[in-house]
Chain A
């Protein structure tokens, strides 16, 4: 079946612009996660959605970052007023439920470059 998909695969933006990154999880997966992978910081958790519960936003690095998940499926990560340090690969993952026992399936990522 279809895996986690993300779009765009690459995004180049100018400093100060807003960007939106999209994630389509695997159908039926109730848990959705955003991570980012950067050279300086490795792989970092950003935000987690589980069903209709309030999201865990504890990993968002600043208030310029936000995410929503509409209808329990597609998620959008928005970065406002982008900075050069936001350049990274943004990864989305989904799992059957928000439990550590359930494998998280990762998408291919969106490579964001802020110039």
Chain B
């Protein structure tokens, strides 16, 4: 079946550091890929998405590129802020409906 594997956390960084959160997937076809973010005390929000190979999703300084050859969708940000502290979930959708999520990665950014 479809699955998503993302790096375990927590990831602790200093403000303005570079961020990478790795995500790889297993799917039988050509899924759409997503990163969702859950800020403390808030609900899940879509951060960015990509629907086909080589697409780059971007939002709020975060980027992720759909790599079919490595079945990956790594999340990157050049300079993190304290306000980026949250739980980040990589997810895929195949067949158009349900999302399959990774386990989530806690990001803590220190000032």
Contacts and interface: CB of A to CB of B under 8 A. Distances in A.
Interface of A: 31, 33, 35, 42-45, 48, 50, 56, 59, 91, 93, 98-101, 103-109
6 tightest A-B CB contacts, nearest first: A100-B93, A43-B101, A100-B32, A106-B44, A45-B98, A99-B96
- Identify whether the interface residues of A are mostly helix, strand, loop, or mixed: strand
Determine the interface band of chain B, counting residues with CB < 8 A from chain A: 20 to 34
A108 B102 contact: no
A108 B96 CA distance: 23
B43 A91 contact: yes
B24 to A, nearest CB: 16
A102 B83 CA distance: 27
Contacts of A44: 101
Given A42-B104, A100-B32, A103-B49, A56 B43 contact: no
Given A43-B89, A109-B43, A101 B51 contact: yes
Nearest to A107: B43
